[in-house]
A = this chain, B = another copy of it.
Amino acid sequence: MNSPLIISAVQQPCNKDRQTNLDFSIARIREAAASKADLVVLPELHLGPYFCQNEDHHHFDLAQPIPGPTTDVLSAVAKELNIVIVSTIFEKRAPGIYHNTAVVFDKDGSIAGKYRKMHIPDDPGFYEKYYFTPGDIGFKPIQTSLGRLGVLVCWDQWFPEAARLMALAGADILIYPTAIGWDPVDDAGEHQRQLNAWITIQRSHAVANGLPVISCNRIGFEQAPDSEKGIQFWGNSFVAGPQGEIITQADSSETKVLTCSIDSTRSEHVRRIWPYLRDRRIENYGDLTKRFID
């Protein structure tokens, strides 16, 4: 991977008007490029409000093909600014088959690859199993001019398996576009535990695999369309180095282009002093493919 690598995570609210919203994201990408960023990450499904707060078949109208109108726009932006962009699109693949898909644009504007979200959540307010067919590409890093990007999406971040498989397949960095927030009904203690757990599990993927991690979340309160409920997206986008050390982190409410430099030669160093990949007991890991061992 290029080193040093300047990366930006765009922590932003995602508003209702798609064009206004996309224009806002593109303006932030321009800011990142002005800061000499090589790579910019947008939050998960950044084209609008998080529509999975209820199950409504009209929401399938939000989906679009890849390539399609949004990827055409972002391709042009990537090429113009000579920057790698990680976007997440509600993908219409075929009638009745929709995915939550990360798309990586290389500096020349080409689509370097895509990743279809593998782990699909479903709990009150996050009805993703209704909308998203589980990904079938698997855990494959996307080769770009900067290196191999291990792009995963949101709920994937809770699964050490996903990070490990990306590392074993040669990822140089792990990237998590995210839309996660608090239920305002929960108390402050629960909010803190959830946020800390979210940061902890992603930092742990850095530690376990000796890789830097970028996590990019949205901010803002979004009201559910059909109830009094809603989600307070908690921001806290961050970048961690390959020992899990926080390099930079946003707070829970600021719109921010979070930019920092990553020394990607550190992964090699860290994997020498912490040679976990050497010591995995692969002959005893077979049961990881089981649901449970009754």
Contact = CB atoms under 8 A, between A and B. Distances in A.
Interface string A255-294: 0000000000000000001111101111111111111110
A161 interface: yes
Contacts of A289: 282-283, 285-286, 288
Of A118, A119, A287, the most chain B CB neighbours within 10 A belong to: A287
Contacts of A290: 168, 282
Interface in A215-239: none
A200 B207 contact: yes
Interface in A97-139: 118-121, 123, 134, 138-139
Contact of A160 (B160, B169, B203, B274): B160
Chain A interface mostly: helix
B160 A208 contact: yes
A80 interface: no
Interface residues of A, number: 51
B160 A285 contact: no
Contacts of A243: 193-194, 196-197
Interface of A: 118-121, 123, 134, 138-139, 155, 158-161, 164-165, 168-170, 193-194, 196-197, 200-201, 203-204, 207-208, 243-245, 273-277, 279-293
A282 B288 CA distance: 7
A291 B282 contact: yes
Contacts of A287: 139, 165, 168-169
B204 A160 contact: yes
B159 A208 contact: yes
